[in-house]
Structure 1
Amino acid sequence: MRTWLRELGGWMLAAAVSLVVAASVASSARAELLFRDGDSVIVAMLSRSLLAGDRLDWAMSSVLFLPETAVFTALDAVLPVGVNALFAVSAVVNVLALYGAVRLVAGRARVGRAPVAWSVIAVAAFGALAMTEMSPSRNALDLASLQLTTTYYSATVVGVALAIGIARRMLDGARLLPMSLVLGAVALVSTLSNPLFAAWATVPLGAITAIGALRVASRGRMLAILAALLGGTLLGFAARIPFAAWIANTGAGYAQPDLWQESIGYYGDLLGDRLSTPLGVIALLVVVALLALAIVRTVRADEPGARFVALAAWVTPVLVVIGAIALGTHAARYLQPLAFAPMLALVALPRPLRVPVRARRQLAAVATVVLLIAGGLSIPRLATAANAPDADAACVTDWVEASDRTGAGQFWTVRLPKLHLDDPSQLVQVDHQLNGYAWLVNRADFDAGDVSFLVEDAQTVPWELPIQAIPDEIVDCGRYRILDFGETVLPLGPQRS
C-alpha cells in the first residue's frame, strides 16, 4: 500500500475513534465538564469576544489558552452551529490532534514498522481510558477525558507529545538544525500559552536528554534536543511579558511545598474515589500495564529514538506526580501525563504483529470496518448530547435579554448564562459583596458600574450587598433564581481577582 494511502487511512480511523470517544464522554455525566462547567467556557467566551470585536481587557489565569482559542475561533468563524455544537466539534478535534502528535512520536514508516496502526491503537487506548470516566467533577482523577475540553490544557498535552515526537525524529537521524528550530518553536508557543509545559515536558525530557548525553554515541543529538527545549521554554517565558496585563495570577502561589503531606492525602483520596468503581479499577490496570510496557521497552530498545520514547512514557508521569506532591498542589488536572504519556509506550517500537500477513490484513480490515461504522453511528449520538436542552439556563438568558438591563452573578453561577447571551456584558461577574470579580473574564464588563438584578443558584455564596435593598420580584428559573430589584440600582465595588 502506498504511504499516503496508509497515512490517510490512519487519519480516517483516528477520526472514527475521536467521534466514538467524544460521543461517549458527551453522553455521560462528564458532559457537565464539556458543556456547562464555569471554567470550561473561558475559551468560548474569549473567542466570541474576539469575533465580536470587543474591547479586550481580559483577566486570565496563568494559562492564556492561545492555541485552544485560535482553533475554537476558527471553528466558530466557519461553522454555522451553536456554542455547544462547537464544544462537541472541539472535543473531536482535540483527540484527532493528539493522534497527529502520537503519529509523529511513532517515527517514520519503514520495513518492519507499522507506525500508523500502532498510533491508532495508542489513541484508541487513550480514548478507552476517557470512556471509563464518568464523574461530573473537574476535581476527579478522570484525566484522559480532560483532553476533550477546550480549557483543561488540551493544547499543552498535544505540545508535550509533539516535543517527544520531534526529539525522537532527531534521534532517528533527522537534520538537527531545522528540527531543533521546530522543537524550540513548539516549546516557545506551549510555554507562552501554559507554563505547565515546563513541568510536563522541559523538566522530564531535559532530565532524560541530560543523562542520555553521557553516552558518547548520541551525545550531540541529545544536547541539541536539550538546548532546543531549554531555549524554547525560556523564550516562551520571556514572550509572556507583553501579556502581563492579562495574567491575573502567575501561578507562583499554587506552589506550597510545606503542604506536601496534605497533597499526598488529597491525591490519595482522589485515587480511592477512582478505584471505587469497576471502570476505575480497569483504567488503573490499563495505565499500570502501559507503564510496565514502557519500562520493558526501555530495556529492550535497540535504537536511541525508541529508547527515548519508552523512557518518556514512564519517566514523565513519575516525575510529574513527584513534582506535584513536592510542590503541595491540589489539582487533579496537573497529573494529566498519567493518562497520555504511558500510551506512548505502544509506539516506542511499532513493530507489526507476529502473525501471518494474510491474517494481519484480515484483522486490519475487520477493525477498520468496525471503527468506521462505530464512528458514523456516534455522530447522531454526539449531536444529541450537544443539543440537549437546558431549560433553566434558557429561562435565565431569555429573561435577561428581554429585560434589556444589566445584572450580576457569582463565578460558578453566572458563567453558563453569560456565555449563551447575545450580549454577554449584560451579566457581570461579581463576588458575594458585589465587587467585580476579574477572573477569566473581560474586565470591560465592569464599565457598567451598577446592576439592577442578581442571578443565583445553589453555588451562590449569601449576598452582602453594599446597600439595603429588597428585590421587587423573584423569578424562578429552576436551579436558578433571578432577584429583580427593578428601579433600585446596586453599585459595583472595586475589582478583585
Structure 2
Amino acid sequence: MQRTWVRELAGWMLALAVAVITVGAVASSARAELLFRDGDSLIVALLSRSLLDGGHQDWAMSSVLFLPETAVFTTLDALLPLDVDGLLALSGVLNMVALYGALRLVAGRRRAGAAPVGWAVAALCVVGVLAMTETSASRDALELASLPLTTTYYSATVIGTVLAVGIVRRMLDHGRPRPMLLAGLLVVTGVSTLSNPLFVAWAVVPIGVLLVVSAVRRRGAAPVARSTAGAALAALAAGTAIGFASRIPFSAWIANTGAGYAQPERWRESLVYYGGLLGDRLGSPLGVLAAAIIAALLGWAVVRSIRSHDAAARFVAGAAWLAPLLVVVGAIALGTHAARYLQPLAFAPVLALVAHPRVLRLAPNLRRQAIAAIAVVLVLGAGLSMPRAIAAASRPDADLACVTDWVEASGHTGAGQFWTVRLPKLHLADPSRLVQVDHRLNGYAWLVNRADLSAAEVSFLIEDAQTVQWQLPVSAIPDDVVDCGRYRILDFGDALLPLGPAHS
C-alpha cells in the first residue's frame, strides 16, 4: 500500500514537471501570442475579472460557455497575487496536470504486470513533445497539442473527453455497472456538454459507437457484458440531454448556437482548407516530427484494438484512432474551417499508450535505473524551464503599457475593433473605458459583456495592424495621433464619435 501511494504521488510530481517544461517551452516561442495576447484567448480572463469586480453581467458568448475554465481561473485570480499573464501561464500548467489525471484514469487499476502510472506519465510526455513542436503565433495553424494550454481553446473539453474514456474503461475493467462510475460519467458528460456541445462529437459519438460494437461482438475476444455497455450508453445519453437542457438558462448569453458553422455544401472548400493546413504543417522539420509521432500512435492504436483480448484495452485503443477519424471526417462533411475543431488528432492518439500499460520487459535493476534517470531529467528540465515560464509571463509590453497609461490618464471612453482592443481592455483598471466596435463604430457584441456597450459616444479610437479601415459615421479628423509602438491612438478631443447599435 505504501509503495502504491509513493508511486502515485511520484506520477503527479513528474506530471507537474512535464507541465512546467511544456509551458516554459511554448511560452518562450511565438506561440506566446496565443497564450497571453490573442483576442480569442482572453475571454476567460475577461469574464473572470468581470465576475470578481461585480456589476451587471450580460455576456455575449459563442456556443462555448467556458464554465469549468472560468471557475478555475476565477478561483486562482481570487486566491493568488498574480497578474493576468501569470494566471494564464499557471492555467496552462494546471491544464497539463489535469490531463495527466485523466490519462491516469484511462490507464486503469494497478495490477500484476501493469505500470499505469509510468505509461500515463509517458503519454503526457508525448503530448508535451507535440506541443513543443508548435512554434507559430497563428490560431489557425494545425498546431493542436498546445491549444489546451490556453484557457479558451477547449481545454476543459479535452480533459472531459479523456475522463469519459477513462470512466468507461474502468466500467469495462469491473465488468459490471458501478453506481459511482455511472454517476461520474453522467456528471462529466452533462457538464462538458453544457459548457461546449463539441464534446458530443469528440466523446459521446466515438464512445457510443465503440460501446455498441463491443456489446454485439461475438467472435474473437469475449463480448462485453451488455448490461455494462447499456448502462454506459444510458449515462452518456442522459448526460448529453441534461447538458443541452442546462444550456437553456444561459440562452441569453449564447449569441451564436453554432448551427451556422455547419455548411455541408462547402465540404470541398473545407477539404482544401484542412489539406492546406496539413501541407503547411509538414513544411517544417518539427511539423514532420509531430506528424510522424501521431501517425505511429494511430497505427499502434489500430493494432492494439484488433489484437487485444482485453475488452477495456480494446476500447481505449479503439477510441485512440476512432475519435480522430470521426472528428476529421465530420469537420470536413460539415464544411467547417477551424483547426481547433480537430484537436482529437493531437490528444486522442496518445490513449494508445495507456490502453494496455504493461511493465516493460527489462531486468528489474535496469528498469529502476531507467525510471530514475527519466525522473531526474524531468525534474532538472522543470527547474530550468521555470525561469523561462516566469520570464515569458512577466515580459514587459511597453506598447500595451503606453496605451493603458494614456487611456487611464485621459479620463475618457474610447473604442477599438475585436482583435485590437481586447488586450488593452483586459489590462485597464476599468475595462468599460474601451468599447468593442466594428469598423463602422457599431457595437460588436461578441465574447464581451454587453454592459460595456452602453456608451453612446467615444472620443478616441485605438488601432493596430489588425484593424480594418475605419468607416466613421461622421466626418472627423483626430486632434492628435499618439504613437504607442504597434498601436496608434486617434484622439478626437471634443469631437465625440457616436456609436451605432450593437450586433454579434
Letter in 2 for 1:359: L
- Structure 2 counterpart SS, 1:444: helix
1:484 corresponds to which residue?
491
Matching residue within 321, 330, 336 for 1:323:
330
Structure 1 residue 223 displacement after superposition: 1.2
| In 2, Cα distance between equivalents of 1:329 and 1:406 | 37
Matching residue within 183, 186, 190 for 2:185:
183
In the TM superposition, 1:141-152 aligns within 5 A as: 141-152=142-153
TM-score, with length taken from structure 1 = 0.99
- The answer to whether 1:368 aligns with 2:369 is no
1:231 corresponds to which residue?
238
- Structure 1 counterpart SS, 2:40: coil
1:29 corresponds to which residue?
30
Matching residue within 326, 331, 341 for 1:334:
341
8 Å CA contact 1:61–1:248 kept in 2: the answer is yes
| In 2, Cα distance between equivalents of 1:310 and 1:224 | 21
2:214 corresponds to which residue?
212
1:348 corresponds to which residue?
355
1:469 corresponds to which residue?
476
Mark the CA change 1:125 to 1:66 in structure 2 (over 3 Å): closer, same or farther.
same
1:451 corresponds to which residue?
458
In the TM superposition, 1:292-441 aligns within 5 A as: 292-441=299-448
Identity percentage of aligned residues = 67
1:88-129 Cα shifts (integer Å, max 9, x gaps): 101100111100000000001111110000000000001100
2:220 corresponds to which residue?
none
- The answer to whether 1:203 aligns with 2:195 is no
| In 2, Cα distance between equivalents of 1:161 and 1:404 | 48
| In 2, Cα distance between equivalents of 1:178 and 1:123 | 26
Structure 1 residue 77 displacement after superposition: 0.9
| In 1, Cα distance between equivalents of 2:465 and 2:113 | 59
Moved more, 215-224 or 82-91: 215-224
8 Å CA contact 1:176–1:224 kept in 2: the answer is no
1:128 corresponds to which residue?
129
1:259 corresponds to which residue?
266
Matching residue within 492, 497, 501 for 1:494:
501
- The answer to whether 1:17 aligns with 2:2 is no
8 Å CA contact 2:190–2:243 kept in 1: the answer is yes
Letter in 1 for 2:377: V
| In 1, Cα distance between equivalents of 2:338 and 2:185 | 28
Letter in 2 for 1:480: Y
Structure 1 residue 465 displacement after superposition: 1.3
Letter in 1 for 2:51: L
Letter in 2 for 1:78: L
- Structure 1 counterpart SS, 2:138: coil
| In 1, Cα distance between equivalents of 2:466 and 2:187 | 42
Structure 1 residue 81 displacement after superposition: 1.1
Letter in 1 for 2:41: S
Letter in 2 for 1:71: V
Structure 1 residue 382 displacement after superposition: 0.3
Q: Runs in 1 of length 4+ with deviation above 2 angstroms?
A: 174-178, 215-218
Letter in 1 for 2:82: V
- The answer to whether 1:192 aligns with 2:194 is yes
1:112 corresponds to which residue?
113
8 Å CA contact 1:105–1:309 kept in 2: the answer is yes
| In 1, Cα distance between equivalents of 2:194 and 2:432 | 28
1:153 corresponds to which residue?
154
In the TM superposition, 1:282-293 aligns within 5 A as: 282-293=289-300
Structure 1, gaps ≥5 residues long: none
Letter in 2 for 1:153: Y
Letter in 1 for 2:373: V
Moved more, 206-215 or 408-417: 206-215
TM-score, with length taken from structure 2 = 0.98
Letter in 1 for 2:15: A
Mark the CA change 1:339 to 1:120 in structure 2 (over 3 Å): closer, same or farther.
same
| In 2, Cα distance between equivalents of 1:418 and 1:170 | 47
- The answer to whether 1:165 aligns with 2:166 is yes
Structure 1 residue 175 displacement after superposition: 4.6
1:137-169 Cα shifts (integer Å, max 9, x gaps): 000000000010000000000000000000000
8 Å CA contact 1:166–1:183 kept in 2: the answer is yes
- The answer to whether 1:47 aligns with 2:54 is no
- Structure 2 counterpart SS, 1:475: strand
Q: CA RMSD in A?
A: 0.9
| In 1, Cα distance between equivalents of 2:128 and 2:241 | 33
Letter in 2 for 1:322: V
8 Å CA contact 1:168–1:308 kept in 2: the answer is yes
- Structure 1 counterpart SS, 2:472: coil
Letter in 2 for 1:354: R
8 Å CA contact 2:164–2:185 kept in 1: the answer is yes
- Structure 2 counterpart SS, 1:34: helix
Letter in 2 for 1:201: A
Letter in 1 for 2:72: V
- Structure 2 counterpart SS, 1:428: strand
- Structure 2 counterpart SS, 1:481: strand
Structure 1 residue 235 displacement after superposition: 1.0
Moved more, 305-314 or 166-175: 166-175
8 Å CA contact 1:218–1:304 kept in 2: the answer is no
Letter in 2 for 1:202: V
1:216-245 Cα shifts (integer Å, max 9, x gaps): 542111111111111101110111010000
| In 2, Cα distance between equivalents of 1:175 and 1:219 | 10
| In 2, Cα distance between equivalents of 1:217 and 1:474 | 70
| In 2, Cα distance between equivalents of 1:411 and 1:370 | 43
8 Å CA contact 2:214–2:224 kept in 1: the answer is no
Structure 1 residue 463 displacement after superposition: 1.1
Letter in 1 for 2:21: V
Structure 1 residue 4 displacement after superposition: 1.1
Structure 1 residue 17 displacement after superposition: 0.2
1:244 corresponds to which residue?
251
1:99 corresponds to which residue?
100
1:155-204 Cα shifts (integer Å, max 9, x gaps): 00000000000000000116522211210110000000000000101111
Letter in 1 for 2:445: A
1:396-450 Cα shifts (integer Å, max 9, x gaps): 0110001111000000010111111111111000001111100000000111221
- Structure 1 counterpart SS, 2:396: coil
Structure 1 residue 54 displacement after superposition: 2.3
| In 2, Cα distance between equivalents of 1:44 and 1:295 | 40
- Structure 2 counterpart SS, 1:213: helix
8 Å CA contact 2:404–2:428 kept in 1: the answer is yes
| In 1, Cα distance between equivalents of 2:496 and 2:379 | 58
